[in-house]
Chains A and B, each alone.
Chain A
Amino acid sequence: EILMTQSPATLSVSPGERATLSCRASQGVSSDLAWYQQKPGQAPRLLIYGASTRATGVPPRFSGNGSGTEFTLTISSLQSEDFAVYYCQQYHNWPPLTFGPGTKVDIK
Chain B
Amino acid sequence: QVQLVQSGPEVKKPGSSVKVSCKASGDIFSDYTFSWVRQTPGRGLEWMGRIIPLIDAANYAQNFQGRVTITADKSTNTAYMELSSLTFEDAAVYYCARGPLGADNYFDSWGRGTLVTVSS
Once the chains bind, are B112 and A43 in contact (CB under 8 Å)? Answer: yes
Q: Which residue of A lies closest to B63 (CB)?
A: A96
> CA separation between A98 and B49, bound complex, in Å?
11
Return the contact of A95 from the options B45, B60, B97, B111 (Cβ within 8 A). B60
Expressed in whole angstroms, the Cα–Cα distance for A34 and B47 within the complex equals 14
CB contact list, A66-108 vs B, under 8 A? 87, 89, 91, 94-102
Cα separation A40 to B114 with both chains bound (whole Å): 15
- A99 lies within 8 A of B62 (CB): no
- Stretch with Cβ within 8 A of A (4 or more), from B13-21, B73-81, B83-91, B99-107: B99-107
CA distance A94 to B113 in the complex (A): 23
Q: Please indicate which of the listed interface residues B63, B106, B112 has the most CB atoms of chain A within 10 Å of its own CB.
A: B106
Name the A residues within 8 Å of B105 (CB-CB).
91, 94, 97
Verify A49–B111 contact, CB threshold 8 A.
no
B44, B46, B113: which contacts A43 (Cβ < 8 A)?
Answer: B113
Which B residues lie within 8 Å of A97 (CB)?
A: 35, 47, 61, 105
B58 to chain A, nearest CB (A): 11
Closest to B96 in A: A43
Interface string of A33-67 (1 = CB under 8 A from B): 01010000011111001100001100000000000
Whether A46 contacts B106 by the Cβ 8 Å rule is: yes
CB <8 Å contact, B62 and A44: no
Whether a CB of chain A sits under 8 angstroms from the CB of B59 is yes
Residues of chain B contacted by A49 (CB below 8 angstroms): 104, 106, 108
Nearest chain A CB to B115 CB, angstrom units: 11
> Using Cβ atoms and an 8 Å threshold, which residues of chain B touch A98?
47
> A55 — which chain B residues lie within 8 A by C-beta?
108
- The yes or no answer to B110 lying at the interface (CB within 8 A) is yes
Which residues of the other chain, A, contact B59 by a CB distance below 8 angstroms? 94-95
> B interface vs A, CB < 8 Å?
35, 37, 44-47, 49, 59-63, 95, 97, 104-113
- Nearest first, the 4 A-B pairs at minimum CB distance are A43-B110, A34-B106, A91-B105, A96-B61
A binding-site residues for B, Cβ under 8 Å: 32, 34, 36, 42-46, 49-50, 55-56, 87, 89, 91, 94-102
